[in-house]
Structure 1
């Protein structure tokens, strides 16, 4: 049997006893066995078809008079292995990102059955394949977490990191606004390399770079989970931003001090009632057009 046919049958694991003996008598038998072992131990993404081909050329002793056709199926096998390992490496390193639009909320089950309620206009990102090693999510916007007991669980935001073992808490991180409220268990908030621990009912609030004193929270969950946004001594500009997150309208103002503090709440399912809840306590008036709302002093 010709040399090339022996190698093809060897690649297919289809050699009989006589052919096996003949195959072992080939001049480059040892090199072929070493190359086969190397392919079995192959790991992506360091594989290079070109480099492997060059190594094959230097190790084997081709006969110039006969084209080495047996190399083609071998390289095809190597290429398939490279693609397979690369796809596996790529897909398992991908992050999962979930977004909500304006006036939209969603619930997310994490790999350990921890639950995340994501508020409107928010984003949460996590890596499922690495979850057993590191329980961590990145948050932009606002979310309420019910964390299953286990290893440390981190919520990473642009302003700080919230760390727990198993508890319920709310995190809100929007531009120049960072607030964490603990509803169950113990929450550690790291801000500017300083850690603050929160017990149930206590909050940590930073607005415009200033740490604000907060009252103890008696509720067992944030109000936005029940269709209502609530505020305690929050500048009006942040109330307006949250209003825009819950209603698909742009709000403009006229001769209004946006640093005025607002305490109160507004509903997410009735535009007129929500506007009255904000404007009446502040002696403001409003007018509604097709896509925008104008607020001004009375």
Structure 2
């Protein structure tokens, strides 16, 4: 059975949106050759030409033609059923997942089938089941998103580092390469890591993963700062801050001449790159040179 990641890759493959790295990962699956045959075959699907007048004449002729006894050949029927089953299987594999993705510098507002809303931050991906959503409200998230969940059956968000079960309505999840943060703004959420650590958060409470331990923090305001166009950090490695700058401003840092492990406390806005760079790099004693979208960093 396909896992959620493979489902996402297959959907992106059909949409011609699969990156080189993702395709290489998909090729490692033992079922890859079978998937390729199906995808290659789909490229040849073409609707037959349709001429209205001859078709209408044929249909009317059949309506007024006397009915005749028929001998039914069961073999074509069996083939037809098998073909229909195959089509249903293909639809189930390739079209039962809905995926939303944001690029660098983009944010996206998503409305789920039950009326729940999700705001995706930059460089994030959200995937959910297309069919029977009301009885299976499960989300897969890569990146960062803010959720406002409508009442209903259980609502679960799965990330690389943990799972969030909704007991209330409004919360934010940040799951990046080396960050996992969940903040609750309304109601309750239950946070679980894959090594069985659990925390139930209420309004104004949050947790983040530090040294593989869920650590509690206090949450202020009624929504995350990124929705107001600003990122805030508290004793976070400089690498994480530079990663976020890249996501929000579509830039690439050359970092090999600086210490990215030093901790940064502060923030930057999303409106002005120069102000953002000054806000982060000057306090850290880092010089920079901007060349288009490439920014070279060096220690002062």
- Fold match (TM-score > 0.5): yes
Contact 1:150 1:165 (C-alpha < 8 Å) held by counterparts: no
Provide the residue aligned with 2:207 in structure 1. Answer: 204
Provide the residue aligned with 1:91 in structure 2. Answer: 91
Change in CA separation of 1:82 and 1:184 when aligned onto 2, cut-off 3 Å = same
Provide the C-alpha distance between the structure 2 equivalents of 1:249 and 1:255, rounded to a whole number of angstroms: 17
Contact 1:169 1:182 (C-alpha < 8 Å) held by counterparts: yes
Provide the residue aligned with 1:226 in structure 2. Answer: 228
Change in CA separation of 1:124 and 1:82 when aligned onto 2, cut-off 3 Å = same
SS in 1 for 2:279: helix
Alpha-carbon offset, residue 211 of structure 1: 4.0
Provide the residue aligned with 1:236 in structure 2. Answer: 238
Larger Rg: 1
Change in CA separation of 1:212 and 1:235 when aligned onto 2, cut-off 3 Å = farther
What pairs with 1:128-207 in structure 2 (closer than 5 Å)?
128-191=130-193, 192-207=195-210
From 292, 295, 298, the equivalent of 2:297 is: 295
Provide the residue aligned with 1:115 in structure 2. Answer: 117
Contact 1:265 1:278 (C-alpha < 8 Å) held by counterparts: yes
List runs of 5+ in structure 1 lacking aligned partners. 1-11, 24-31, 33-69
Alpha-carbon offset, residue 86 of structure 1: 3.3
What are the Cα deviations for residues 202-242 of structure 1, in whole angstroms up to 9, with x where unaligned? 1110145354453x221111111122111122111101111
Give aligned pairs, total.
Answer: 234
Alpha-carbon offset, residue 158 of structure 1: 1.0
Provide the residue aligned with 1:37 in structure 2. Answer: none
Q: Which aligned segments of 4 or more residues in structure 1 are displaced greater than 6 angstroms?
A: none
Provide the residue aligned with 2:82 in structure 1. Answer: 82
TM-score (normalizing by structure 1): 0.72
Change in CA separation of 1:13 and 1:241 when aligned onto 2, cut-off 3 Å = farther
TM-score (normalizing by structure 2): 0.71
What pairs with 1:64-79 in structure 2 (closer than 5 Å)?
71=73, 74-79=74-79
Provide the C-alpha distance between the structure 2 equivalents of 1:76 and 1:268, rounded to a whole number of angstroms: 62
List runs of 5+ in structure 2 lacking aligned partners. 1-64
Alpha-carbon offset, residue 95 of structure 1: 1.2
SS in 1 for 2:114: coil
Contact 1:176 1:207 (C-alpha < 8 Å) held by counterparts: no
